[in-house]
Amino acid sequence: KAGTIEDGRRVASTRGTPQGSVISPVLSNIYLHYALDLWVQQWRTRDAKGDVIIVRYADDSVIGFQYEGEAQRFLQALRERLAQFGLQLHPEKTRLIRFGRYAARNCRERGIRKPETFDFLGFTHCCGTRRNDGGFKIVRLTIKKRMRTTLMAIREMLMRRRHEPIAVVGRWLRQVLQGYLNYHAVSDNLRRLGGFRWEVGRAWRHALMRRSQRNRLSWDRFQRLLRKYLPPCRLLHPHPGARFAVKTSDRSRMR
């Protein structure tokens, strides 16, 4: 009912949901549960010999396969499956990569320096090794481009609010940074978050210095402000101790 704007004119829509609507992700999850999730479970049981895992959030998915050949067959089957529902894969975001505990060795055998990475839910996922035993682990780092975008937005807002009381801006900045850390404070990402916190502090000091040339902000006083208002970077989301398991009801119907 919301319609779309084309060439400055409103065009009525007969299907779909409004962009940004609250109901849009709910309807998307219901639709993809039957169009994708249950079908993947069926394909895994019927056609796969190796492990197959899927992680989906809204319309973004990562699917892992034990065997490369099965990944290639699944990709073709997935395109055909989505076409039945009027959907298609994003051509620039859809790719097959070698990832996992054997990825580094396979890349060396093929003359490739290191395994590829992929971005998902705000993180760049990389192949890493554990320090204690040298085993494989997934390293998650905040996507650099998104971090820069967030930092630019904070800088702009600090400049706009530079004439407000320091305590008011400090409390606002604490909430913003704490919210950012609450999501991104995962294992192996604290160093990058520490750099982000440092840049936020620099941006705040720059804004405060622009308030007045007569009342210069001393470094000692600014350090006290940072300790008071900017939360420290602490690990909030360690690696889970067990692999997640997802079950689907036997009563769910799918064709």
Q: Per-residue pLDDT for 212 more than 80? A: no
CA angle, 63 then 65 then 70, to 5°: 110
Strand partners, 11: 4
**What tens digit of pLDDT does each residue of 121-138 get?**
999 999 999 888 888 899
| Measured distance CA(181)–CA(197) in Å, rounded | 9
Question: What is the value of pTM for the model shown?
Answer: 0.81
Give residue 252's pLDDT: 46
The more confidently predicted of residues 220 and 178 is 178
Q: Per-residue pLDDT for 11 more than 90? A: no
CA angle, 171 then 142 then 154, to 5°: 35
The more confidently predicted of residues 251 and 70 is 70
CATH fit for domain 4-96, picks 3.30.70.270, 2.40.50.180, 3.10.20.600, 3.40.50.620 = 3.30.70.270
Calculate helix-pair angle for 68-83, 38-47, nearest 10 degrees. Answer: 140
Enumerate the CATH 3.30.70.270 domain ranges in the chain, comma separated: 4-96
Strands 9-11 and 4-6: antiparallel
Band of the pLDDT at 214, cuts 50, 70, 90? Answer: low
Q: Per-residue pLDDT for 154 more than 60? A: yes
CA atoms within 13 A on the CB side of 241: 0
| Measured distance CA(75)–CA(57) in Å, rounded | 18
**What tens digit of pLDDT does each residue of 14-63 get?**
666 666 677 888 888 899 999 999 999 999 999 999 999 999 998 899 99
